[in-house]
Amino acid sequence: MQPCPRPITSLLRAAVLLVAALLLAGCSADRPAASSAQDTEPWPGQTASERVGAPGLEALRTKFRFYAQDPCWTGDAAKVFPRCGRFTTEIRNVLPQVRQDAPAAAAQADLVGKALDDFAAKGCQADPGTLAEGDATVCGPAFRAVQETVQGMATAAGAEPEGPCPIHPGAPAMLARSGVRSAVRPPPRSTPGDHGTATRTPAGPGASIGEPAAGAAPPSRGYGAHRRPAATARTVTPRRPR
């Protein structure tokens, strides 16, 4: 009795499985072993912010300039605090980055954290997208403390808010001494034929518009009044022939 030949399909299946096993083994060999201590620490010479693709300190300053455009940054604390839930949440989230990327502002970041805790303890904190229901007389001063400490933290981190260039205090005086009058419109010039009637103030009820006011100086003679009178003609007597 002869043995039955092995089916071709079984051989093909075995070959496919062998190739797949070799490929998986190669991928595992190329991948480095993960180390929890090494993977969680920043790379040498870089901060946690730089790992996401931006320089840490400059990215932090950019955030502060962005926050400075929010009405919650300098608005009336008693009026804006109900709508500043997102603002306070973002400020709290940025505190760890401040302590790591701006060590000079770490102490100020601690003051911001205390001000935020006091603001929340008084029932003034709201979730992002919701309105706070705290008392304005209590939450207003608490949020003002948040604003002041946040502004101090931004200054300590070297983030100056962008804005227009201030006008030098002596600029108006310097312009006056230089004779520049670009902002002052010159008086209207008189035209020929006005005859001094640029100001037409009636003398009283019933007076015509062209009459000058009572007691006013007589009008000028207008254009050409400054010219010299024409010389009188002289009589020439013809000489007698000799």
Residue 89: pLDDT band by 50, 70, 90 thresholds? Answer: very high
Please give the model's pTM, rounded to 2 decimal places: 0.46
On whether the CB atoms of residues 58 and 116 are closer than 8 A, the answer is no
Sign of CA dihedral 64, 68, 73, 74: positive
* Helix, coil or strand: residue 17: helix
Residue 159: pLDDT band by 50, 70, 90 thresholds? Answer: confident
On whether the CB atoms of residues 105 and 156 are closer than 8 A, the answer is yes
1-37 residue pLDDT tens: 555 555 566 666 666 666 666 665 554 444 444 333 3
On whether the CB atoms of residues 129 and 86 are closer than 8 A, the answer is yes
